[in-house]
Amino acid sequence: MISKRKFMAVSTAIFITGAAPGFSQSTPSLKDAFKKDFGIGTALNNAQIEERDPQMTAFIARQFNMATPENIMKSALIHPKWDTYDFSMGDKLIEFGKKHNIKINGHTLIWHSQLPPFIRGIHSQDSIRSFFTDHIKTVAGHYKGKVFSWDVVNEALNEDGTLRKSVFLQYLGDNYITDAFRLAQEASPGTELYYNDYNNEQPAKRAGCIALIKKVKEAGVRIDGVGIQGHWHVGKLPLKDIEESIIQYAALGMKVMITELDIDVLPRNFQGADVSQRMTANEQSNPYAAGLPDTVQQQLAADYEALFNLLLKHKDKVTRVTFWGVNDGNSWLNNWPIRGRTNYPLLFDRANQPKPAFEKVIAATK
């Protein structure tokens, strides 16, 4: 399975070069507008973490107070060989956060996708257990006191709420999620620990997520929150399901976050964010290469307005909203489920200029 973070690496020329046109200092700041409500985050790529473009760095620091690495803390990159860890880019992210007063959410300790290549050659329970244990202890321990939070387990559920048949379920059994949170808690006791998934606002998957949370808690293991990724489609936001999920997760004592927010405007015949799914390109698959029609732009703005009105209604339960990318040019949706498309799912355009959706989101706070 290919990571959605990988797709972001080839999205546009703006992303590849790290270059971003200037922005107006008069543009309101998202983090300031919501400072009394919840944190505002973004996903950061390597160019942004390394501050290759000073204007982009200044823009990020002005707009966001939380950040999630798109790719660099995945096990394939941070643990490339059995006995080798590479913390170089992760450490740069920590320094970026310190420098710009941005809290870092570690992403992610255990995920069935983007595993190190050597995992494919392992066929024993003891070896998988050894990798699982050492990986969590080493990575979470290295960033103890440095990251604000961890997505401890990512995307462990099927759409019907059952556990995904991952290598971890296969070899370690259905207690592996509880074990992951226990190990993370031991390695980094002061860090907030979350479960993160897509479509877990949908009733069946929500029920599975609730069962997962209860199982961890009943084992006496700490779990602090749940992330609803928020990969939705224009004109089709499941607002009732989102609200019910916020209420039900919060009733379990969970902090609730929207962790990978974007609103797709391009044709797609399925929902969610299963990166193994693909569509075939045709004449209709990239309809807005020359620009987004005003009707779609206004629908996108209305969707973001409705979503943030809902999140503000439940600001006592929602602790963070993280956009999956800084601007439209950075979005993984330009290359998934079809490569080379032109998408417009975020609040800022490819020049970091605010879109009508941004204005609606800011207005929601007033």
Query: Considering 51, 192, 201, 260, which one is annotated as catalytic?
Result: 260
Instruction: Let me know if 192 is a catalytic residue.
Output: no
Q: What DSSP assignment string belongs to 262-302?
A: EEE-S--SS-S--TT------TTS-TTTT---HHHHHHHHH
Q: Would you say 110 and 152 are in contact if contact means Cβ atoms under 8 Å apart?
A: yes
Which residues are paired to 110 by β-bridges?
Answer: 153
Q: How many CB atoms lie within 10 A of CB 43?
A: 28
Q: At what angle do helices 203-218 and 176-187 cross, to 10 degrees?
A: 60
- Written as six digits, the tokens of 252 are 């379990």
Q: How many CB atoms lie within 10 A of CB 88?
A: 10
Q: Which residue has the tokens 């224009």?
A: 234
Q: What are phi and psi of 157, to 5 degrees?
A: -115, 145
Query: Considering 70, 155, 192, 201, which one is annotated as catalytic?
Result: 155
- Written as six digits, the tokens of 283 are 């004449």
Instruction: Let me know if 260 is a catalytic residue.
Output: yes
- Written as six digits, the tokens of 240 are 């009732």
Which residues carry out catalysis?
Answer: 155, 260
